[in-house]
Structure formats: structure tokens, C-alpha cells
Amino acid sequence: MLYFVATPIGNLKDITFRAIETLKEVDVIACEDTRHSITLLNHYDIKKPLISYHKFNEREACQKIVELLNQNKSVAVITDAGMPVISDPGNVLVKTLMENGLEYTVVPGASAFTSALVLSGVNSERFCFIGFLPDKKTQREELLLSFKDTPATLIFYSAPHDVKKDVETLYSVLGNRPAVAVKEITKLHEKVERFKLKDGYPFEPKGEYVLLVEYVKTDENKDLTEKELIEKYIASGVDKKEALKKVAKERGISKSELYKYTIEEGK
């Protein structure tokens, strides 16, 4: 069996009993960075053979893991922090395991973006996790355009050296929206910073970031006169009575005030 095991995102105590038990029982642990993971493993007195599994050797490491599983070895996969596969290596491995008919499961635990969502205070009824933005400007903008009208809070990961650039790109595509930067979650300098996208990131970047951008419904009809708006709805196939009702509701006025526009035009 292969286990995808969540690890702490900061505080070493944020790990489940099951995760510790699993890491102690498996034959091999695949780590994103063995030098980083050894701190956690030593803290809980976990002594197991370690192999490296990261985005630069993912396909080769997948084959090694498949070989281990075919030898009836059990393997745990961990990343530097949080849940494997989520903006971390693991997706290729899942597909490889499926193709080879090998069993795998998850040992859930800490996740940075869900923790940030709770801390941020933004609307959490609906949210969309996007992760890290691409490096190339055109790819960043294309990706954001595809989510521009999504009626949900958008969540991104951002490194300290990218956060100012990321916020500028978010503003250029999404417009001015309320945003929250949550950094160093569960660590000593955990902080929640609120700002507007048009202002850019107004603080000195330090630590790992989760950026959350609230959805703001734009009124594409705000620049139309009441007459123009009635005509727009009628042209779209809405009958006169329904058009008057819709415009009256949008503009907060009575239908009787709008009749003159349809009478004048003989509509």
C-alpha cells in the first residue's frame, strides 16, 4: 500500500496520530526534500529508509516507488509541508499507480489554503483553489481570465519574491477587489494582512503566502440609461412587461416611472 501523508505546515505538533503511526510502520518514506523532512522525522523518532521524490525527478521516482510496491513494500509519500499532490509532487504518481492497478490511500491533515481561508475572514461559502501562478506573463493572464467571472473566492499560493508581482497581475486581470494575504500559518509570525488589489501588496514580503481574492460582481449595465437598459432587455428577447420589471428592480424604482420610455417609442 502507498500512503499520501499530510505533514505540518509550520508547527510540528500539527500532525495526526495516524500520520505518525503510518510513518513508523511503512518500509520506505519518499520525501520532497529529505534534508527538510528529517527534522520532522527525528522529532517523532521515526527511523526509516528515505528516498527523494520531487518535481525534478518525479517520473524516475515513480518507477522506483512502483518497484517497491511490487516487492510488497509499503511506502509513505510526504512533502515539505501540507498535503502531497496539492501544489506539490504527487499527481504523476497517482496516475502511475492507477495505471498499474496499485493500491493507495490518503492520511489527511494540515493544508495551508484551508487554514488561510479560515483565518482570512473572506466569504468561504464558495471558493476556488488555483495554487501558484505560472511564471510567464501571458500564461498567468490567460489562467486568471478563465477564473475572472467565477462567483467564488479565489485562492493562490505565492512565494515571498513573487507576491508583489502576483498581486499586480491579479489587479491587472481581475480589477480592484478586496484581498487578503495570510503568511507563516501556525508559525511564530503568523499574520493576516488585508488590502485592495489596486494598492498592490503594501507590506514588506517575508514568509510563504496564501493570497485570497474576494469575488466582486461587476454591473455591466451601470453606464446605461434606464431607457437604454429597457431596450437592451427587449432586444434580447424579453417582453416589455418583464423588461420593465427587471429594470425597476435593478434601479430601485417603480415600474410606473419607466412606462414613459416604452410609450414614447411606441413599444
pTM: 0.79
Residue 131 — left, alpha, or beta (φ > 0 → left; ψ -120 to 50 → alpha)?
left
What's the Cα-to-Cα distance from 219 to each of 180, 199, 222, 223, 227, rounded to whole Å? 23, 22, 5, 9, 16
Residues 100 and 7 in one domain: yes
**What integer pLDDT is reported at residue 242 of this predicted model?**
84
Strand order in the sheet with 153-158: 127-132, 153-158, 209-213, 178-183, 191-196
26 and 102, same domain (yes or no)? yes
- Please report, for residues 139, 142, 150, 223, the alpha-carbon distance to residue 145 in angstroms, rounded to integers and kept in the order given: 10, 5, 10, 23
Specify the number of domains making up the chain. Answer: 3
Q: What is the pLDDT of residue 267?
A: 46
What per-residue confidence (pLDDT) applies to 13?
A: 97
> Do 117 and 103 belong to one domain?
no
**Assigned domain for 209 exists:** yes
Angle at 171 between CA 170 and CA 174, to 5 degrees: 75
- Residue 184 lies inside a defined structural domain of this protein: yes
Which residue range forms the structural domain that includes residue 14? 2-110
Question: Which of 49, 76, 110 is where one domain is finished?
Answer: 110
Please, which residues have CB within 8 angstroms of residue 207's CB and are 6 or more apart in sequence?
A: 160, 183, 184, 187, 189, 191
Instruction: Say what the pLDDT of residue 230 is.
Output: 83
Burial label, 2 (beta-carbon count in 10 A; 0-12, 13-18, 19+): buried
Tell me the C-alpha distance between 121 and 28, whole Å: 40
Give the count of alpha carbons within 13 A of 94, CB side only. 10
Residue 218 pLDDT: 66
Whole-number Å distance between alpha carbons of 27 and 202: 48
Same domain as 137, residue 166: yes
Cell (9 digits) for 214: 474576494
Question: Domain check: are 141 and 60 in the same one?
Answer: no
pLDDT of 235 = 82
Around Cβ 224, how many Cβ atoms within 10 Å?
A: 15
Q: The domain spanning residue 15 has which CATH number?
A: 3.40.1010.10
CATH number at residue 205: 3.30.950.10
The residues of the chain scoring below 70 in pLDDT are 218-223, 263-267
158, exposed or middle or buried, with CB in 10 Å at 0-12, 13-18, 19+? buried
Dihedral of the alpha carbons of 62, 34, 82, 4, in degrees to the nearest 10: 40
Does 208 lie in the same domain as 119?
Answer: yes
Domain assignment present for 220: no
Buried b (16+ CB within 10 A) or exposed e, 50-89: bbbbbeeeeeebbebbbebbeeeeebbbbbebbbbbbbbb
